Amino acid sequence: HKDLPSGRGYVFLTESGSVSAVISGGSNADGWKKWQQSWEGKEGMDSLSDSDIDAMLDKVECIMLQREVPEYVNLLIASKAKQRGNTLVIQDVGGEDRPISTDMLRLCDYIIPNETELNRLVEGMGMPASTQKIKDEDEFVVAQAKFLQAKGAQNVLVTRGSNGSTLITTKGDVIRQLALRLPKNKVIDET
């Protein structure tokens, strides 16, 4: 938005190569009045029309959503994309630390959290204490992803740093991918 400051992300690097980030939303957090009006079903000068959104989605086959914009922006785009029926919707869970709605989970073909984000999501959605007793790290990640699927998620791809990634598909398949091993002292940071 031309009248608002740009958003910024600050990444802090530790000696081990792991990172921590702080995000200042700026225009990513504000400047969405037309989108909000549209999501709330209010028509007029301060809302987007269906044809505006259709024009944005024209010839788009895949949308990658992120959590640094208000939830209603993602909900509006994902719901319109799903109505069109030909657009893959991917939700990167990084960004703002907030709950994700079951509506958003249902609209996305893929939900992609890292392990920390996955923990926050399932804790915020009331994951049963019995699941938290699982000691095996890999089994725990799978149980958390299946919990998200029970809440409406389709495919859950968990990025796991040096442990690679784990994909839990809508069919219940669990696919593990090992991390690529790089030469020692060549990795500057994990981002």
**pLDDT tens string 36-87:** 888 888 777 677 888 888 898 998 899 999 888 888 889 999 999 999 887 8
pLDDT at 78: 92
| Tens digits of residue pLDDT in 7-38 | 777 778 777 767 777 777 776 667 778 878 88
Structure tokens at 108: 């996305």
b/e map 106-120, b = 16+ CB within 10 Å: ebbbbbbbbbebbbb
DSSP-derived secondary structure letter, 184: T
What is each CA distance from 22 to 13, 16, 34, 191, in whole angstroms? Answer: 12, 19, 27, 14
Structure tokens at 122: 């399932």
What is each CA distance from 84 to 59, 65, 164, 171, 172, in whole angstroms? Answer: 11, 17, 34, 23, 26
| Tens digits of residue pLDDT in 145-169 | 999 999 999 999 999 988 899 999 9
